[in-house]
Homo-oligomer: A and B are copies of this chain.
Amino acid sequence: MAADASLNAIPDGILAAAEYENHAANHLADSTLAWLRGGSGNEYTLRANQQAFQSLNIRPQLLNNFSQASTRLKLCGTKLESPMLLAPVGHQHLLHKEGELAVTRAAEVSATCLVASTMSSLTLEVIAEASNSAKWFQLYWQPRREDTLDLIRRAEGAAYEALVLTLDTPLQVLSHRAQRAGFAQLKSTTPANLKDYKPLPQRALAPNQSILLHGMMSEAPDWEDLAWLLETTTLPVIVKGVAHPDDAFRLQSMGVAGQIVSNHGGRSLDGMPASLHLLPAIRDVLGAHYPLLLDGGIRSGTDIFKAIASGADAVLIGRLQAYALAVAGALGVAHMLKLLRDELELCMALAGTPTLNDIGPQCLMGAI
């Protein structure tokens, strides 16, 4: 309840990673909790992300030999011990006083790749210094191209292994839930990474022009901007927010190194399909061997299994990361990741699939 009640001790009785959500309510102010849990609009997409996993059933196979079992994979050049990454989550000082440093420590302990956010409370350099494990940098397009370039060069300099360009929310949308709860912490804060960048002068609009369509959207990137980005950096560029198979095909053709199916966790366009339901059509156009990740709705190791069976190579863990951080800092995040991994391994054992390559559509059966 009180924000300072955050612990660095794991609460008793947590049997599953998903249970961190309920405990988080004891460690966050109501308005922060509303911001964290809420989605845009009527929260249709927020709910759909989780419910989608119930629409798929797993049909196990028997008697397979597990002596060569493994959850390892290599993704865009990065080696992963298991098919999960820590999703970019901004403003982590609102969740725990150690913020991104706690998550960085948990990532290292559990050998999990971290995707640091443009909107992090600490600079990308501070995060990189604190970390010895694999990390990617999540990039928000900046109003001035020179600022975007600066962010890229800084990420390259700090040894991030890939850039994750977020495109699923050309405009930032604050949920009604957060607005009603009086959440206002972000208004007065400039994220640490962006302190030296200045906003554009206000754009003059003609009488018939829309603030939204002509004002704000003039700062969103387009296909040309992406082409420039791909030429500018030597890091692999991964696009987050892909929903349409036509876009997936075009991005692959342009040289994008990997893609993340995402609806921004139900925080952008309310009415988007669940991430899980978007996957199969996109895997179809990309072919079997192109890196594809899923973000949105993962609450258990069984969910991870279903995402992989539906076409993902790996998944991003967003809200569960935030809940565990709020509950018990680095220890909480590490424990949550351990639970998720145990759940995935149990699911693989019971489904009879010793390696990630054994998990595919043949393991699934639509729920009736």
Contact = CB atoms under 8 A, between A and B. Distances in A.
A356 to B, nearest CB: 12
A214 B66 contact: yes
Interface residues of A, number: 83
How many copies of this chain does one complex carry? 4
B346 A173 contact: yes
Contacts of A69: 210, 213-214, 217
Given A63-B223, A66-B218, A212 B349 contact: yes
Interface string A347-362: 1111110100000001
A11 interface: no
Contacts of A367: 48, 273
Given A210-B345, A214-B66, A216-B349, A58 B272 contact: yes
Nearest to A58: B271
A245 B345 CA distance: 24
Interface in A96-137: none
Interface string A217-261: 110111101100000000000010111101100010000000000
A54 interface: yes
A180 B13 contact: yes
A20 to B, nearest CB: 15
Interface stretch (A85-93, A145-153, A163-171, A317-325): A163-171
A63 B223 CA distance: 5
A273 to B, nearest CB: 4
Nearest to A221: B63
A306 B217 contact: no
B350 A268 contact: yes
A61 B247 contact: yes
B220 A66 contact: yes
Nearest to A81: B208
A51 to B, nearest CB: 9
Given A67-B218, A171-B349, A176-B16, A60 B272 contact: yes
22 contacts: A15-B176, A52-B368, A59-B244, A60-B244, A60-B272, A61-B244, A62-B239, A62-B251, A63-B226, A65-B223, A66-B218, A69-B217, A71-B213, A171-B346, A212-B345, A212-B346, A213-B345, A217-B349, A244-B362, A269-B351, A273-B368, A274-B368
Interface of A: 13, 15-16, 41, 44, 48, 52, 54-67, 69-71, 81, 167-171, 173, 176, 179-180, 208, 210, 212-214, 216-218, 220-223, 225-226, 239, 241-244, 246-247, 251, 268-274, 277-278, 300, 302, 305-306, 342, 345-352, 354, 362, 365, 367-368
